[in-house]
Amino acid sequence: MAEKKWMPRWFYQLASPRWCYGITGKLLPIFAPLALALLLGGTVWALLFAPADYQQGNSFRIIYIHVPSAILAQSCYMLMAIAGAIGLIWKMKVADMVAKSCAPIGASMALLALATGAIWGKPTWGSWWVWDARLTSMLILLFLYFGIMALHAAIEDATTAAQSTAVLALVGLVNIPIIKYSVEWWNTLHQPATFKLTERPAMPAEMWVPLLVMVLGFYCFFAVTLMLRLRHEILGRERRSGWVRELVEQR
């Protein structure tokens, strides 16, 4: 269409489920070993070689899972909302599928962040749950994911479901900064937690380099799971198109 000429070519290629299926097929063999190597290397480094914290001892090591999963839960929401917006504006099916695939991954990451936060809380605070600002924000983020998944599940028509969840994700995106700010403010008003899981004064390099490796590893892992889910989604939705049939017959 004439009015969309300013968009680069790859944008249209992305819009084609078939092209997307092909390119993710080529990217997967790169990202999968990369994710595995980074995660394995990072874990070994973090658990065996990184120094223990002078206050918290070894229990602090859980941040090597907690922080990456928390970061990922948030970036995943961003990606989901942006993909949803692209799907809404340009009616791009692949963007809808990316958004749909993001939700369960993001939710599990938020859950992982909450679980690791709770496990860390037991030896540090003496209880499994503390109404710490970051944990509370993460809990609300998890609720937002639940809402999106519930809405998607409730609507039968795939297109309508994608569009509705995109609107909800965008509303959530506008709200996330407000929620974060309000929760932080609420937290300082009530009981400032003495220990913070993440905000620590000047972490030495031996500690944060493995953290960085883990974050990168999580991102690669995220890319792998997203691509796998996306390919599954593409095959499901395009099952009646010619190229999927050919693909199945080749097997």
Partner 1 sequence: MSEMATNKPATQDRRRPGTFRAALKRDLLLAFRNRRDLVNPLVFFLMVATLFPLGVSPEPTFLAELAPGLVWVAALLATLLSMDSLFRADYEDGTLEQALLSPQPLILVVLARVTAHWVMTGLPLTLMAPLLGLMLFLPSEGMPGLMLSLLLGTPTLSLIGAIGAALTVGLRKGGMLISLLVLPLYIPVLIFGSGAVQAAVTGLPLAGYLALLGAMLALGLVLAPLAIAAALRISVSG
Partner 2 sequence: MAEALLKVEKLFCERDDRILFDGLSFEVHAGEVLQIEGQNGSGKTTLLRILSGLSRNFEGDIAWRGEPLDEAMQDFRASLLYFGHQPGVKATLTPEENLNWYAALHPDIDVDGIADALSRVGLAGYEDVPCHNLSAGQHRRVSLARLYLSRAPLWILDEPFTAIDKKGVAEKEQLILNHAARGGAVVLTTHHELTLAGLRRINLDDRAGTS
The three-state secondary structure class of 215 is helix
Is 111 in contact with 142 (CB distance < 8 Å)? Answer: yes
Query: Which residues 6+ apart lie within 8 Å of 25 measured at CB?
Result: 231
Per CB under 8 A, the list member of 143, 200, 216, 235 interacting with partner 1 is 143
Residue 94: contacted member of partner 2, partner 1, none (CB under 5 to 8 Å, by partner type): none
Q: Where are the alpha helices (DSSP H) in 49-157?
A: 63-90, 93-125, 133-154
Nearer to partner 2, 58 or 160 (CB): 160
- The amino acid at residue 14 is L
Per-residue x/- track, 133-172, partner 2 (CB under 8 A): -----------------------xx-xx------------
Binding mask of the shown chain, residues 94 to 133, with x at each position contacting partner 1 by CB under 8 A: ----------------------------------------
Contact between 178 and partner 1 (CB under 8 A)? yes
Cα distance from N-terminal residue to C-terminal residue, the chain: 36
CA distance 45 to 48: 6
Regarding 155 and contact with partner 1 (CB under 8 A), the answer is yes
Q: Does 146 bind partner 1 (CB under 8 A)?
A: yes
| Min separation Cβ 187 and partner 1, Å | 10
CB 148 within 8 A of CB 73: no
Using CB under 8 A, pick the residue from 80, 168, 193, 207 that binds partner 1: 168
Beta bridge partners of 57: 53
Q: Which residues pair with 53 in a beta bridge?
A: 57
- Site for partner 1, rule CB under 8 A: 88, 140, 143-144, 146-147, 150-151, 154-155, 157, 159-160, 163-164, 167-168, 170-172, 174-175, 178-179, 181-183, 185-186, 189
